[in-house]
Amino acid sequence: MLKGKVALVTGSTSGIGLGIARALAGQGADILINGFGDAQQIERLRRELAAAHGVRVLYSAADMSKPEEITEMIERTTAGLGRVDILVNNAGIQHTAAVEEFPVERWDQIIAINLSAAFHAIRAALPQMKARNWGRIVNIASTHGLVASAHKVAYVAAKHGILGMTKVVALETATTGVTCNAICPGWVLTPLVQKQIDDLAASRKIPAEAAKKELLGEKQPSHEFATPEQIGALAVFLCSADAAQIRGAALPVDGAWTAQ
């Protein structure tokens, strides 16, 4: 479905971003992946994606807190793969603390990476999408773009901001072939979340399954994690012709978290 298209996915060397990159590559899109990690592991991942799906795959180590590096990443994708048709803003970080104890530098970092980075990437990629009259912008928000949790002031503020930005871009592109939407995952089983489960199980001396239920029980009524593959499948759908009139939407994948 996406053969001949080029996708850029930020924060895609692991977790949700990698799930999305794999799903898009599986539909024939050439990919630029981005993120931090061991250089050899990332190179193996790049080759694996290319070989498994018969697509071109580039890698950028651009720091999402630095606007000039984001612009350079868009330019590199365009130079190396010919264009940017699909932009997935996924990169994000987290820190938890009460508002009055929240470190100012962590606030600035989270807003920069979780919110401002998406603006800089959209701003750089949108002109060429408009020129071709086709583009898909998918912002990975969170249930925390719709509801809040204590001790996550910067993350919640950033994700609410992502949904506002999504709506503005959707309105400004409403008469074009470019769409902009947001996906709002709840708990997703990624390596980082698996580590939380394992740590909780070890500290409480309880089975991993009990730790999983405890982690999910407070927020996610289904008591099941979403998966990176499910998020990837939704991103693929948003890139399809069938989704051409889904614009400015915030689509939860949260096991009924936000239904409460």
Tokens (6 digits) for 127: 């002109």
| 155 in active site | yes
Active-site choice (155, 187, 225, 257): 155
Residues with a known catalytic role: 155
